[in-house]
Structure 1
Amino acid sequence: MLTNIRIVLVHTFHPGNIGQAARAMKTMGLSELVLVNPRSFPHEEASRLAAGAKDIVERARVVDSLPEAVKDCVQVVGASARPRSLPLPHFDEPDRMAQALIQNAGLAPVALVFGRERSGLTNSEIRCCSHQVSIPANPDYGILNLAQAVQVLAYELFQARQKRADHEIPFRRPAQEPLPTQEQMKHFHEHLSQVVQKSGFLTQPHAQTERQLQAIFTRAQPSRKELSLLRGLLNALSRDT
């Protein structure tokens, strides 16, 4: 399960933070690191601060965009300290997030996404996620640096994995269908947008309305079979309009 969990760092400014995040990952059994447009990488500071986790830094994959980093994932959780108005499912407690990720990681890749050191993830990057999570902290000073945030959430994932192993909890009921990847959901949202616009429901661009429609299906978490059914419905509606 842990090998199916991907840590994604978006636009990391200080290369040393990449090394420290890799060290935090390795202590909790995580090994897959993906970097989205880091400012400076490879860099000797990343390798130096990784200490015994230099292998994770050396294997890290660098990509140009967050959608590319998570396109094959069935669940993507964005770590955010700031309250957001985006209508995405939100984990207030990291242990609940960890249980969900571990459950889905039993059969398919999942991702935990961290933003820039100073400003975190943008709204558009959060919209690339299926869920959000926050780390409870002192309301008067709730600031964690990047590696600390990775360490806290990686610990929760490790604990959730250990609890499942100790209690021999199955990954998923056999009757439960696999979830679609983020790339499959992206194609569905694009299809939905085309049909909505063609139908006349939107007479002018309404980005907020389209985002709210997308959020409905994100919260619903349809299975791949259900998503295929929805795509068939959209095709039928397209022929009738």
Structure 2
Amino acid sequence: MLSNIRIVLVQTFHPGNIGQAARAMKTMGLTDLVLVTPRRFPDHEADRLAAGAEDVVADARVVDTLSEAVSDCVQVVGASARLRSQPLPHYDEPDVMAQTLVELAAEDPVALVFGRERFGLTNDEIQCCSHQVSIPANPDYGILNLSQAVQVLAYEVFRAWRQRPDSGYQTPRPSTGPLPTRQQLDYFHAHLSRVMHASGFLTQPHARTEQQLQALFNRAQPNRKELSLLRGLLNSLEESL
């Protein structure tokens, strides 16, 4: 599905922006990059700034016209910072656009089109698109560079994809290790209580200090290794008393 989502860059001036856009794509699982008459490509600067996404740069296709780049796409969304006179459907929110693109990409190619660094897409190029999308930003300073715009919209597409039940995506989570048993926790709290009494930390017999600390460790949910570390600390304190 993600392989059917194409990023098209039109007349990119600085080759480094191609590399940075490729990097933004790869972090979001996108690999289909098409370049419309870039000023310089291939170029070492594109590879250098790809920073691990050199494969996306190497596989990029170069074409002469935007029409050629999107001829097989069922939906073409032009990224534009301003509204145009053409009566094209406009996505006010990128996440809504992304949901539609992902649904269509399940069967057919779709494209996100980005214009030149300085002035974006021309009106003629917007006419090659079926829709427009803008990225909401600070009205007093809503300027994003090319790779930032690619990153934002690529992220929205990736988020829409991974929320689909058929994506199979699982958020990577760090391994916490096995949790301690109730008995191990009881031994720890008894050890903690013994050290607190021996050190003179508990001076008010009716205070709820022990219950509060027990609640704290219950919220923290230390694993067995962490609990062993705490027991080692208590042993060290106990020996010094």
TM-score, with length taken from structure 2: 0.69
Counterparts of 1:30-109 in structure 2, within 5 Å, are 30-109=30-109
Indicate the SS of the match to 2:160: helix
Task: Check if 1:131 corresponds to 2:149.
Answer: no
Query: Could you tell me how far apart the structure 2 residues matched to 1:4 and 1:31 are?
Result: 9
Per-residue deviation at 1:164?
1.0
Answer whether contact 2:9 2:36 (CA < 8 A) is retained.
yes
Q: Counterpart in 2 of 1:220?
A: none
Q: 1:110 matched to which residue of 2? A: 110
C-alpha distance in structure 2 between counterparts of 1:85 and 1:35, whole Å: 26
Give unmatched runs, 5+ long, in structure 1: 169-241
Q: Does 1:4 align with 2:4?
A: yes
Secondary structure, in 3 states, of the residue corresponding to 1:118?
A: coil
- What residue number does 1:164 align with? 164
Cα distance in 1, alignment partners of residues 83 and 167 from structure 2: 35
Q: How many Å separate the matches in 2 of 1:59 and 1:158?
A: 20
- Letter of the structure 2 residue corresponding to residue 3 of structure 1: S
Residues 167 and 26 from structure 1, CA distance in 2 versus in 1: closer, same or farther, beyond 3 angstroms? closer
Q: Distance in 2 between matches of 1:53 and 1:167?
A: 23
What secondary structure, in the 3-state scheme, does the structure 1 residue paired with 2:45 have? Answer: helix
Change (3 A) 1:164 1:122: same
> Aligned letter for 1:85?
S
User: Within 2, Cα distance between the matches of 1:85 and 1:159?
Assistant: 31
Q: 1:97 to 1:45 in 2, by over 3 A?
A: same
Task: State how far apart, in whole Å, the 1-side matches of 2:40 and 2:140 are.
Answer: 33
Distance in 2 separating the partners of 1:102 and 1:166:
12
C-alpha RMSD of the superposition: 1.1
% same residue: 77
The residue aligned with 1:141 is 141
Query: Are 2:152 and 1:152 equivalent residues in the alignment?
Result: yes
CA distance in 2, matches of 1:51, 1:133: 28
Instruction: Choose 1 or 2 for highest CA Rg.
Output: 2
AA aligned to 2:141 is Y
2: CA distance between counterparts of 1:71 and 1:2? 18
What CA distance in whole angstroms lies between the structure 1 residues aligned with 2:89 and 2:120? 18
Post-superposition offset of 1:10 = 0.1
Q: 1:165 Cα shift? A: 2.9
Q: CA deviation at 1:85?
A: 1.4
Deviation at 1:84, TM superposition (A): 1.0
Listed one character per residue, the Cα deviations across residues 164-219 of structure 1 (whole Å, up to 9, x for unaligned) are 13799xxxxxxxxxxxxxxxxxxxxxxxxxxxxxxxxxxxxxxxxxxxxxxxxxxx
**Aligned residue-pair number:** 168
In the alignment, structure 2 segments of 5+ residues that lack a partner are 169-241
